[in-house]
A and B are shown apart, each in its own frame.
Chain A
Amino acid sequence: MDGFCRHCFADAPDGAARCPACGSPRLIRHSELHTLSIAHIDCDAFYASIEKRDNPELEGKPVIVGGGRRGVVSAACYVARTYGIHSAMPMFKALKACPHAIVIRPEGRKYSTEGKRIREMMQDVTPLVQPVSIDEAFLDLTGTHRLHGGSPALTLARLQKRIHQEVGVTVSIGLSHNKFLAKTASDLDKPHGFAIIGKAETLDFLADKPVGFVFGVGPSFAKKLERDGYRTLADIRRAGDKELAARYGESGLRLARLSRGEDTRAVNPERERKGVSSETTFNEDLSDLAALEDRLWPLCVKLADRAKVDNIAGQVVTLKLKRADHRIITRRRTLTAPTQLADALFRVGRELLKGEATGPRYRLIGIGISELGLSTGDAGDLFDDGALKRAAAERASDAARLKFGGDAVVKGRVLRSQNKP
């Protein structure tokens, strides 16, 4: 069986427990080792790993990266995870499980800089890198064998080592014959793992997995499937394409294919972004329109800043609110022309907010744009003489901020909300 050492990349002979060349136990063996080429790379506890890298005193301690008393866990290190803490967990729950955990406020810019470095290293081995998020991506290494003088598996192992040495964080790699299985594999051997799902073992591997194992099958669809007698992917496979398509339409057919490990989606580096959004959780629930507006404005500025950097504009504006009871409300509005201006976002957002700020208490507010396109300039409005003037003012203020720093020009509204907790 083919195998090599993930430390020194020497061949690993069958049966050896350690590398005969360097003595490392990190050997990888698989009968399809050198033929598979679709990979998923996931950074291990990314934010927390970076914090630990930057502060050696955190070594061996439970570290949580997340925001405020009301926030959620953005990342938990592997020590913290032993206490049952996981990302997206409410902070108060996490601290109940592990009161001595060290909580660090996330520093977005630092993570995105490191994320970009890692992405560039990925792009050094193949142009086909499809980012899923800041710390996760799919890679297609098909046809890179001669370029890198080694199979995709070997190239990936080298990349993994390079990221560890140069960035100082570990990543886990899943290697398989399509995206679904590569993503599944990267989760099997965390942290600093390298897992392979070959073609030959695909069906057996999936057979006993519950239907909810497939991405896109949420709790309610899973429940429906179970009610109809489909508990595992083997059950799905037995039912057949026709039956599933008849029962659940398109999503049934998709599930049937995935249950056999079939996924024809290509690794697409140009995958279109569907939307951009920005949101914030309050320290105290808010119900007052003016107070909510004060929170909405900085989000609009933040969102507009991102849109301007990427030169995109959105035609649909969505306001998101989370009630005190965690129920999420979204309200959307389609504009006549796409926008990337904070002023325009705020005007629409405020209109939408007015309809909802009628008493209920909210814990979160967010605003997003979708139906994205390249920005094509600011549209004037025949019935709003100020529209172009305000657009010009915002562009001028952007230019000043670029020259003199982030806070060089702010709207009076910002100063008001800054004085509040």
Chain B
Amino acid sequence: MKLTIDRAALIRTLGHVQNVVERRNTIPILGNVLLSAEDGALKFAATDLDLEITETVSADIESGGSATAPAHTLYEIVRKLPEGAEVEISMTSGDPRLQIKAGRSQFSLPSLSPSDFPVLSAEGLSHDFKVEASELARLIDKTRFAISTEETRYYLNGIHLHAMEAEGASLLRAVATDGHRLALSETAMPDGASGMPAVIVPRKTVQEVRRLVDDADDEVEVSVSESKIRFQIGGATLTSKLIDGSFPDYERVIPRENDKRMTIENKVFANAVDRVATISVEKSRSIKLSLAEDTLTLAVNNPESGQATEELMVTYGFDAIDIGFNARYLLDVAGQIEGDTVDILFQDSASPALVKDSADEHALYVLMPLRV
């Protein structure tokens, strides 16, 4: 194998694939990226056995073939090469090392046999659909912050993606929750998605898809089955196993009956929460919201670091309520609100609150209060 490729194309592609490679591996080959040169193109592949990425870029191929090399090392090397460099990659039979040359720099890296490189089979993908890259980004951004990291409820460690009908409209909906908050975002059902299995896309896959979507500007092709999902984004193909579990009945916990509506300017709210929460440096930062007629008082009282309060003008015309929340959860939600104002609907101080975006009726958030 021998080929030449310019640094810019190489770094961009390696940047995509090396993320999939775990820093620590018990199986050495999983630390490597697979390079296959053929017909004027260089194909990259990396996997952690649950998630696989392949991406093809054009390159000047002198002789075809394949090789593997430590992904992170290769990425670091290319990153440090001067801009505009031409990189020559070669592997000769008899020498177990991959040679990399650029200008006067020369590297040789240990290479493991390409035949040992695992390939994630992606047979039986039953449903295919296309979704706008920006729409996919929106679905992810508005939900991924609520993905759980708790291992006990592994089925919450991803985004629940599913097709559904609501009020006569066909929708593709994304939901994530960690039991303390829930985030929901939906989009019009893409052609072909109707009848797709309801799946749970693991967090790592979500992160990688989101990263790739940033570099893509058109449509993303999605193929899905009961056990796998595949995203084709630009030149990259991401194939992932799905979380094998059933997502809880989230509809049940969305408090549709909450009638005490508070409306406030989102930026004002977020800034005030952030300011007041400065006092609580702890991991779970509880903040008290006291609602009275057209007034919201935010308060943090921390026996060690002091206290803070701030009074805000709101639209509110119901009974007074005192309710505690994790400040970080409030900020996470506020960060996803597109509208100028946000509506928070309460029932009482012990029941979950519902948050709505004035500019996006296809997103909602549920926050469980803290009992303080």
Q: Which residues of A contact B (CB under 8 A)?
A: 311, 313, 315, 333-338, 348, 351, 371, 373-374, 376-384, 388, 391-392
Chain-A contact segment, one of B121-129, B268-276, B279-287, B338-346: B279-287
A388 to B286, CA, bound (A): 16
Q: Are A334 and B150 also in contact (CB < 8 A) when A374-B302, A376-B280 are? A: yes
Contact B284 A373 (CB under 8 A): yes
Query: What's the least CB distance linking B14 to chain A, in Å?
Result: 28
CB of B350 closer than 8 Å to a CB of A = yes
Contact A381 B282 (CB under 8 A): no
Contact B149 A382 (CB under 8 A): no
Q: Give chain B residues whose Cβ lies under 8 Å from the Cβ of A392.
A: 371
Contact B179 A384 (CB under 8 A): yes
CB of B368 closer than 8 Å to a CB of A = yes
Contact B284 A376 (CB under 8 A): yes
Query: What's the least CB distance linking B149 to chain A, in Å?
Result: 7
Contact A377 B179 (CB under 8 A): no
Identify which of residues 160-195 in chain B touch chain A, using a CB-to-CB cut-off of 8 Å: 177-182
A313 to B280, CA, bound (A): 14
Q: Which residue of A lies closest to B367 (CB)?
A: A382
What 1/0 flags go to B337-372 for Cβ under 8 Å of A?
000000000000010100000000000001011111
Q: Give chain A residues whose Cβ lies under 8 Å from the Cβ of B148.
A: 336
Contact A333 B253 (CB under 8 A): no
Q: Are A376 and B285 also in contact (CB < 8 A) when A382-B179, A391-B371 are? A: yes
A379 to B142, CA, bound (A): 22
18 residue pairs bridging A and B, Cβ less than 8 Å apart = A334-B150, A336-B179, A338-B283, A338-B284, A348-B152, A373-B284, A374-B282, A376-B284, A376-B286, A377-B371, A379-B180, A380-B350, A382-B177, A382-B180, A382-B250, A382-B253, A383-B177, A392-B371
Q: Which residue of A lies closest to B368 (CB)?
A: A380
Q: Give chain A residues whose Cβ lies under 8 Å from the Cβ of B178.
A: 336
A223 to B349, CA, bound (A): 60
Contact A371 B283 (CB under 8 A): yes
Contact B304 A374 (CB under 8 A): yes
A31 to B200, CA, bound (A): 72
Query: What's the least CB distance linking B152 to chain A, in Å?
Result: 6
Besides A334-B149, A377-B371, A391-B371, 15 new A-B residue pairs in contact (Cβ under 8 A), listed by A number: A311-B303, A333-B152, A336-B148, A336-B179, A336-B180, A351-B152, A374-B282, A374-B303, A376-B370, A377-B372, A378-B370, A379-B180, A379-B368, A381-B180, A384-B179
Q: Give chain B residues whose Cβ lies under 8 Å from the Cβ of A338.
A: 283-284
CB of B235 closer than 8 Å to a CB of A = no
Q: How many A-B residue pairs have CB under 8 A?
A: 83
A379 to B179, CA, bound (A): 9
Contact A380 B182 (CB under 8 A): no
Q: Give chain B residues whose Cβ lies under 8 Å from the Cβ of A374.
A: 280, 282, 302-304
Query: What's the least CB distance linking A384 to chain B, in Å?
Result: 7
Query: What's the least CB distance linking A166 to chain B, in Å?
Result: 31
A118 to B85, CA, bound (A): 70
A336 to B148, CA, bound (A): 7
CB of B151 closer than 8 Å to a CB of A = yes
CB of B70 closer than 8 Å to a CB of A = no
Identify which of residues 202-235 in chain B touch chain A, using a CB-to-CB cut-off of 8 Å: none
CB of B96 closer than 8 Å to a CB of A = no
A382 to B371, CA, bound (A): 14
> Which among A335, A376, A382 is the interface contact of B150 at CB below 8 angstroms?
A335
> Which among A334, A348, A376, A384 is the interface contact of B282 at CB below 8 angstroms?
A376
A388 to B350, CA, bound (A): 8
Q: Which residue of B lies closest to A337 (CB)?
A: B284
Q: Are A373 and B253 also in contact (CB < 8 A) when A382-B177, A383-B179, A384-B179 are? A: no
A343 to B282, CA, bound (A): 22
Which 10 A-B residue pairs are closest in the complex by CB-CB distance? A376-B286, A377-B370, A377-B372, A373-B282, A382-B253, A381-B179, A380-B368, A373-B283, A378-B371, A376-B284
Query: What's the least CB distance linking B163 to chain A, in Å?
Result: 23
A188 to B145, CA, bound (A): 56
CB of B248 closer than 8 Å to a CB of A = yes
Query: What's the least CB distance linking B251 to chain A, in Å?
Result: 11
Query: What's the least CB distance linking A148 to chain B, in Å?
Result: 30
CB of B158 closer than 8 Å to a CB of A = no
Contact A383 B253 (CB under 8 A): yes
Q: Give chain B residues whose Cβ lies under 8 Å from the Cβ of A311.
A: 303
A384 to B283, CA, bound (A): 22
A338 to B371, CA, bound (A): 13
A376 to B280, CA, bound (A): 10
Q: Are A379 and B253 also in contact (CB < 8 A) when A337-B180, A337-B326 are? A: no
Q: Give chain A residues whose Cβ lies under 8 Å from the Cβ of B283.
A: 315, 338, 371, 373
> Which among A337, A377, A381 is the interface contact of B324 at CB below 8 angstroms?
A377
A335 to B180, CA, bound (A): 11
Q: Which residue of B lies closest to A371 (CB)?
A: B283
Contact A382 B372 (CB under 8 A): no
A157 to B180, CA, bound (A): 56
Q: Give chain B residues whose Cβ lies under 8 Å from the Cβ of A384.
A: 179
Q: Which residue of B lies closest to A395 (CB)?
A: B371
A351 to B179, CA, bound (A): 18
Query: What's the least CB distance linking A380 to chain B, in Å?
Result: 4
Q: Which residue of B lies closest to A382 (CB)?
A: B253
Q: Which residue of A lies closest to B254 (CB)?
A: A382
Residue with the greatest number of chain B CB neighbours at <10 A, chosen from A333, A374, A381: A374
A166 to B350, CA, bound (A): 52
